[in-house]
Amino acid sequence: MNTRRPLRFATLLATLLLAAGAQADTVLLNASYDVARDLYKDYNPAFQKAWQAKTGEKIEVKQSHGGSSKQVRAVADGLEADVVTMNQATDVDFLADKGLVAKDYTKKFPNNASPYTSTMVFIVRKGNPKGIKDWSDLVKSGVQVIVPHPKNTGNGRYTYLAAWGYALKQPGGSDKSAQEFVSKLLKNAPLFGTGGRDATTTFMQRRLGDVLVTFESEAELIAKEFGRGDFEVIYPSVSILTEFPVALVEKVVDKKGTRKQAHAYLEYLWSKEGQEIIAENYLRPRDPEVLKKHAAQFPAIKTFTVDETFGGWSKAFKAHFVDGGSFDQIYSVK
């Protein structure tokens, strides 16, 4: 066996490590969810330029992407991220409980600390052969619905809450009728995808199911990957407003002395330029002017928030997604 090879690799590794930390004055680490790379790939250089023009300081922003709650667990376990940019309040709440993020993080920035929003829409096959228009069509027999796992994935949880909220808002709607509605809908699901991307592959490539429920922003990504001619986007009568909270990791910025830069990094998301980049990535900007400019891309849709309908994420989570919650109840009677 050649014993020198591992050594050479070790040297290589060491060089690699040394090469990393050099250069910029300040290095920020942004721990984010996994489809946000495109957004921050555009946003980070814009911020760097703006910050350097303003202060003369050079900033490098490193990105860490992964499953939302996995990322948050890593931060709680010592991943030194200066900021977290997530797709669900539950995940940031966990860090707030651990004392890593301010308890009132939603008040530290405008709009509930969510610089952009999105909503859940339907993707159907070209020509909409099953005539799917609204949530009520998803529970019809003979309609197959493709959704990511409603309990374990952010995407799936929003879908679940959206359907629940829709049923709740129907005349005579109650928690009981909502649970029946959601349970019927899930009976139409032949499988639960591992994540949003997996559900899409199942629907688009393996051609299973009649309708895919997903984020509005994903529709554009689907078009990029599979071409536009193969599917249609359907906006239901009402859907859920999905928020993407951002927060400073207090403990880390204090330790690294990067509070000023990290705060500016998040704040810049609300600037005209930040909002523009957000809109270009098919996420709904908060700035009304920017939204208006991109109106063609964001059809008007009636939405409800988790706070309004479910009394906040932590309540919604406890009622529906913990062990023994409403999702588990659907699968306990058999």
Partner 1 sequence: MSRSSSHSVLPGFGLSLGYTLVYLSLLVLIPLAGLLAKSASLTLADIWAIATGPRALASFRVTFGASFIAACLNGFFGLIVAWVLVRYDFWGKRFIDALVDLPFALPTAVAGITLATLYAETGVIGEWFAKAGIKIAYTPLGIVVALTFIGLPFVVRTLQPVLEDIEPEVEEAAATLGASRWQTFRRVLFPAVFPALLTGFTLAFSRAIGEYGSVIFIAGNMPLISEITPLLIISKLEQYDFVGATALASVMLVISFVMLLAINLLQWWASNRHRSVPVKDAAALGGAQ
Partner 2 sequence: MTVRRANNEPRWMRVLLLVVALGFLALFLGFPLVTVFYEALKKGVDAYLAGLADPEARSAILLTLGVAAAAIPFNIAFGVAAAWAIAKFDFRGKSLLITLIDLPFAVSPVVAGLLFVLIFGSQGWLGPWLAEHDIKIIFAIPGIVLATLFVTFPFVARELIPLMQAQGKDEEEAAVSLGASGWQMFWRVTVPNIKWGLLYGVILANARAMGEFGAVSVVSGHIRGETNTLPLHVEILYNEYQSVAAFASASILALLALVTLVAKTVVEWRMRKETEMLTADLPPEKTE
Residues of this chain that bind partner 1 (CB under 8 A): 69-70, 73, 94, 149, 151-152, 190-194, 198, 201-202, 205-208, 317, 321-323, 328, 331-332, 334
Cβ contacts of 70 within 8 Å, gap of 6 or more? none
Select the binding partner of residue 34 from partner 1, partner 2, none (C-beta < 5 to 8 A, by kind): partner 2
Cβ contacts of 158 within 8 Å, gap of 6 or more? 88, 120, 215, 240, 242
Distance CA 186, CA 55 (A): 53
Tokens of 18: 């040394």
Select the binding partner of residue 62 from partner 1, partner 2, none (C-beta < 5 to 8 A, by kind): partner 2
Angle at the Cα of 281 from the Cα atoms of 234 and 130, rounded to 5 degrees: 15
Q: By C-beta, is 6 or 311 nearer to partner 2?
A: 6
120 touching partner 2, by CB under 8 A = no
Q: Which amino acid is at 275?
A: Q
Tokens of 190: 């032949």
Closest CA to 29 of 59, 55, 4, 64: 64
Q: By C-beta, is 4 or 334 nearer to partner 1?
A: 334
Give the H or E element holding residue 117: strand 116-125
Select the binding partner of residue 328 from partner 2, partner 1, none (C-beta < 5 to 8 A, by kind): partner 1
Q: How far is the CB of 109 from partner 2 (least distance, A)?
A: 24
280 touching partner 2, by CB under 8 A = no
Q: By C-beta, is 187 or 302 nearer to partner 1?
A: 187
Select the binding partner of residue 245 from partner 1, partner 2, none (C-beta < 5 to 8 A, by kind): none
Chosen residue from 42, 80, 180, 232 binding partner 2 by CB under 8 A: 80
Q: Which amino acid is at 141?
A: S
- Burial of 85-114, coded b for 16+ CB within 10 Å and e otherwise, reads bbbbbbbbbbbbeeebbbeebbeebeebbb
221 touching partner 2, by CB under 8 A = yes
Q: How far is the CB of 45 from partner 1 (least distance, A)?
A: 30
Task: Reduce the DSSP state of residue 59 to 3 states and report it.
Answer: strand
Bridge partners, 59 (sequence order): 26
**Number of chain positions touching partner 2 (CB under 8 A):** 38
Q: How far is the CB of 154 from partner 2 (least distance, A)?
A: 12
Q: Which residues bind partner 2 (CB under 8 A)?
A: 1, 3, 5-6, 9-10, 12-13, 16-17, 20, 29, 34-35, 37-38, 62-66, 70-71, 73-74, 76-80, 195-197, 200, 221-222, 224-225
